[in-house]
Structure 1
C-alpha cells in the first residue's frame, strides 16, 4: 500500500502563502541544493501527485512552460496527477485526471500501488484528507522567515492529533525539513505523556 504524504513549504509562523493567492515568496528563503535534491527524489519515487483545484490551476499554468528547472519540470509534466474538484470536468495538463470524490479515489489508489502518493500544496484538500484519515505522513519545509500575515496551512481540526516525528534536519539555506507520521486509531487524540 502506498503512503499518502502531504508536502508543503510554510513560513516559520505556519503560513503556506502570503496575503494574496499564490504569493509563495517565502519559498525563496528555503530553496537551495537540498530542496532541489528532495524535489528530484520525490519525482523518482512518487507514483502519483495530488492537487486541489486551485493548486492544480497554478501548477498547470507554471510547469509546462518552466525552463528554470528542466529536470523538475520533466517529472512534474510526465508523472500521473490527480486533481480533486467538483467544478472541473477535464484537465488540460498532461497525465492528469479529475475526480469529484477524492477520498474514495485515494483509498482505491493507495491499495493499488506501493509507491508514495504526494499531495502538493492544497491546504483545503490536505485538511479534508487528514480528517478522512488518509494522510500517512506530513512533510514540511519550514522556511526561515516570518510572514506576519497570510494563509495558514492547517485549518481548524476536529480535535487534537498527535504526530510522530520521523525525521527532522536542517537544509543548506537555514530552513528545516520535518517529517511526521500521522498515527491511526484512538491514540491520535491523546496528549503525549510528559
Structure 2
C-alpha cells in the first residue's frame, strides 16, 4: 500500500499566502527537501486551487536539476466539486468520494504527495489516509495570517524528524497518531 504525504510551507504565524514576501525557492535546504519529496513520488494529489495555480506555474519552469520536468510529468489527481473533466497537465479529476479514490490510488502508487493544507488535506487526515506531514516553517511573520490548518477533529502528531537550515527554516516531518 502506498504512502500519502502532505507537504506545505508556512510562516511562523501560520500564513500560507503572500509567499512572494517570505518563500525562497532557491534556499538550498528547501531545494534538497523538495527534491527528496518530488523525485521519490509516483503521483500528486491536488485540490482545485493548488491545481489551478500549479498548472499555470510549473509548465513554464526550467531548472538544471530536472525537478520541473519530473514534476510536470507526474500523474496528478485533482479533487474538486467545481471543475469539469477532462483536465490538462497530466491531471485526472477525482469524481465521487475523494477518500475512496485515494484508497484506490494508494493501491496503485508507492508514494503520493499532496501540496498545501486546505480542504483536500483535511479530508485526507479525517479519513486516516495521511502517513506523513512535512511542514517547512519559515522565519517570517506576515502579521495578518488566516487560520488555514483545519481538521474536523483534533489530530495528534508524532515527530519523525526535524532539520534546520542556515536560513532559519525549520523542516519538520510528522506522522499522524492513529487512535
TM-score (norm 2): 0.90
Structure 2 equivalent of residue 107 of structure 1: 103
- 2:80/2:93 contact within 8 Å kept: yes
- 1:71 is displaced (CA, Å) by 2.1
- 1:60 is displaced (CA, Å) by 0.1
Where 1:117 maps in the other structure, the secondary structure is: strand
Structure 2 equivalent of residue 43 of structure 1: 38
- 1:16/1:152 contact within 8 Å kept: no
Q: Could you tell me how far apart the structure 2 residues matched to 1:144 and 1:103 are?
A: 34
Distance 1:27 1:69, change over 3 A: farther
Where 1:6 maps in the other structure, the secondary structure is: strand
Matches within 5 A, 1:59-138: 59-67=54-62, 71-89=66-84, 90-93=86-89, 95-100=90-95, 101-113=97-109, 115-138=110-133
For the aligned residues, what is the CA RMSD?
1.8
Gaps of 5+ in 1: 186-194
Deviates more, 1:49-58 or 1:142-151: 142-151
- 1:102 is displaced (CA, Å) by 2.0
- 1:27 is displaced (CA, Å) by 1.3
Distance 1:159 1:121, change over 3 A: closer
Distance 1:31 1:126, change over 3 A: farther
- 1:165 is displaced (CA, Å) by 0.4
Residues 118-173 of structure 1, C-alpha deviation per residue, up to 9 Å, x if partnerless?
Answer: 11114221112111211111100001101111333312x33322110000110132
- 1:24 is displaced (CA, Å) by 4.7
Q: Could you tell me how far apart the structure 1 residues matched to 2:53 and 2:152 are?
A: 29
Structure 2 equivalent of residue 166 of structure 1: 160
Q: Could you tell me how far apart the structure 2 residues matched to 1:175 and 1:84 are?
A: 30
Gaps of 5+ in 2: none
- 1:16 is displaced (CA, Å) by 1.2
- 2:160/2:173 contact within 8 Å kept: yes
Which of 147, 150, 153 is equivalent to 2:142? 147
Q: Could you tell me how far apart the structure 1 residues matched to 2:21 and 2:79 are?
A: 25
Structure 2 equivalent of residue 15 of structure 1: 15
TM-score (norm 1): 0.83
